[in-house]
Amino acid sequence: MTQATEQLKKRLSTIGNIQRAAALLEWDMQTYMPQGGAAARAEQLATLSEISHDMFASQETVRLLEQAEQSASSLDPSSEEARLVQRARRDYDHTARIPTELQSDIARHSALAQDVWQRARAANDFPTFAPYLEKSFDLARQVADNLGYTTEPYDALLDMFEEDAKAAEIAIMFADLKPHLVELTKAIVKSPRKGQDAPIPGPFPIEAQNAVTKKIVASLGYDFNRGSQDQAPHPFCSGFSRNDVRITTRFNRDYLNMALYASLHEAGHAMYEQGLPEEYDNTPLGHAASMGAHESQSRLWENLVGRSRQFAEYVLPTLKEAFPSQMGNVTPDQFYRSANCVQPSFIRVEADEVTYNLHVLLRFELERDVLSGNLKVADLPEAWNAKMQEYLGVTPAAHSEGVMQDVHWAAGLIGYFPTYSLGNLLSAQLWNSIRKVNPDLDEQLRRGEFAPLLGWLREKIHSRARLLKPDALIREATGESLNAKYYVDYLKFKYTALYEL
């Protein structure tokens, strides 16, 4: 690295430390902070956000950035150093376009709105939450206006999570996907096999659920020396360095799969973060390529691995050991079916693989409409319920299992939802590529040998960190751009057999 780039890196790592400290406060806010701490925590996060924003957008940072650009201009643009400087430029431009006051408003509002959301959701009280939601969209619109866009404000927000993605392309992707999903769901609901996918009856004591899910994610390759598992109302993964990446999960005494699949999902995210190269830690390269790439990892471990027939065989003895009386007579086939129950339902995070993307489509359309001014926040609950009926044939009886179920809008993550579907599609595309080079994959999963799979992901995705833009990463790993065909084929193959369609 040239001296100019070293100096830029040093400056950015100082800013990174402030952002990581803020991330730890957010992790605490969602795990251990007593409810009374909400207002002060919002101020702490706003202050840290202001400090890091001012440092990033400062004359000093831009001076170092320009020096580094100067010295990198003679380098191969695909070299590590040139890419680091390119990523720093993108981050700087984003930061500098957002006024400090807006940035700290967002940090403060997001903390307060999450607190209100949590209580309003529990009380099924949309009117109390509505002004906060209004403000979330208002702030998002201001962000989009400051970042700039050519077609619609949604593009500016989406680009923060998925570089170069466009709302119009996402809409086309969903238009291709939707008829397959609707048709498959309809066929499954009518299948005579439908009655055999019920959950395994509990109860499952929480302590034992916690212990067994930790054991299982550790066996996949999640490193607890550099991680931990705690509880949160809306499970998430948060990293403060590649050597401290924490997951959260949630428990239901009567439904083991809630915790199991939340843990698998979050461990998928966490293994990506733990697999980022040490030398990129706390630099502009030391991140995932995009949120879609991130979701591809969580969904791959949760679904392609965790909901496979092979995994059912592998994991059942471990579950029987933890819950001998509840699981004693359960067969792998029964467990496999219970983990893949396709059923139009209200809650996205608990949705099966077939209906899941319809939940995302609904959110994408609604937030796009609110942002463009075609839908008022006050009318969101009604619009939500109408789309649920149209896409899934069900209408939530309460807002808590409808428009208020997700934390994202309260947390300011508007434009984020499509990355879940991008991740789903990519997970199946990656799986297809892995199988080509590792024909023994199924047998390995049955035996609980996850190292070859993790090794492939480490090489193709994790170690590539943020060197490439999302599309280039996908092409490098799979030989082509994102292609929905693999996901559709995967679903049709799996569920045709499972439900004897």
Stretch that binds Zn ion, among 4-12, 90-98, 293-301, 394-402 (CB under 5 A): 293-301
Nearer to Zn ion, 272 or 323 (CB): 272
Q: Helix crossing, 256-274 with 206-220: angle to 10°?
A: 40
Nearer to Zn ion, 153 or 423 (CB): 423
Using DSSP, state whether 268 is helix, strand or coil.
Answer: helix
- Within 356-395, which residues bind Zn ion (CB under 5 A)? none
Using DSSP, state whether 465 is helix, strand or coil.
Answer: coil
Q: Is 221 left (phi over 0), alpha (psi -120 to 50) or beta?
A: left
Give least dist CB 78 to Zn ion, A: 30
Nearer to Zn ion, 109 or 269 (CB): 269
Q: What is the DSSP string of 166-206?
A: -HHHHHHHHHHHHHHHHHHHHHHHT-GGGGG-PPPP----H
The count of chain residues that interact with Zn ion, using the rule CB under 5 A, is 1
Convert residues 243-282 into a mask of x (bound to Zn ion by CB under 5 A) and - (unbound).
----------------------------------------
The helix (run of H) or strand (run of E) holding residue 240 is strand 237-241
Give least dist CB 408 to Zn ion, A: 11
Q: Rounded to whole angstroms, how far apart are CA atoms 473 and 466?
A: 9
Give least dist CB 291 to Zn ion, A: 8
Stretch that binds Zn ion, among 91-99, 118-126, 184-192, 297-305 (CB under 5 A): 297-305
- Check: CB of residue 404 under 8 Å from CB of residue 410: no
Stretch that binds Zn ion, among 241-249, 291-299, 347-355, 489-497 (CB under 5 A): 291-299
- Check: CB of residue 464 under 8 Å from CB of residue 272: no
Q: Rounded to whole angstroms, how far apart are CA atoms 29 and 114?
A: 10
Give least dist CB 307 to Zn ion, A: 15
Give least dist CB 384 to Zn ion, A: 21
The helix (run of H) or strand (run of E) holding residue 231 is strand 227-231
Residue at shortest CB range from Zn ion: 298
Nearer to Zn ion, 61 or 298 (CB): 298
Nearer to Zn ion, 115 or 406 (CB): 406
Active site (annotated) includes residue 169: no
Stretch that binds Zn ion, among 122-130, 239-247, 296-304, 380-388 (CB under 5 A): 296-304
- Check: CB of residue 423 under 8 Å from CB of residue 299: yes
Q: Helix crossing, 485-498 with 167-189: angle to 10°?
A: 10
- Check: CB of residue 142 under 8 Å from CB of residue 359: no
- Cβ count near 103 (within 10 Å): 22
Stretch that binds Zn ion, among 170-178, 213-221, 292-300, 481-489 (CB under 5 A): 292-300
Nearer to Zn ion, 283 or 303 (CB): 303
Nearer to Zn ion, 136 or 298 (CB): 298
Nearer to Zn ion, 112 or 362 (CB): 362
The one catalytic residue in 26, 266, 302, 367 is: 266
- Check: CB of residue 341 under 8 Å from CB of residue 199: yes
Give least dist CB 265 to Zn ion, A: 6
Give least dist CB 273 to Zn ion, A: 12
- Within 298-357, which residues bind Zn ion (CB under 5 A)? 298
- Cβ count near 457 (within 10 Å): 24
- Check: CB of residue 140 under 8 Å from CB of residue 371: yes
Q: Which residue has the tokens 């208020």?
A: 404
Give least dist CB 247 to Zn ion, A: 10
Q: Rounded to whole angstroms, how far apart are CA atoms 15 and 284?
A: 11
Q: Which residue has the tokens 């609604």?
A: 366
Stretch that binds Zn ion, among 41-49, 158-166, 281-289, 290-298 (CB under 5 A): 290-298
Q: Would you count residue 427 as binding Zn ion (CB under 5 A)?
A: no
Q: So which residues are the catalytic ones?
A: 266
Q: Which residues bind Zn ion (CB under 5 A)?
A: 298
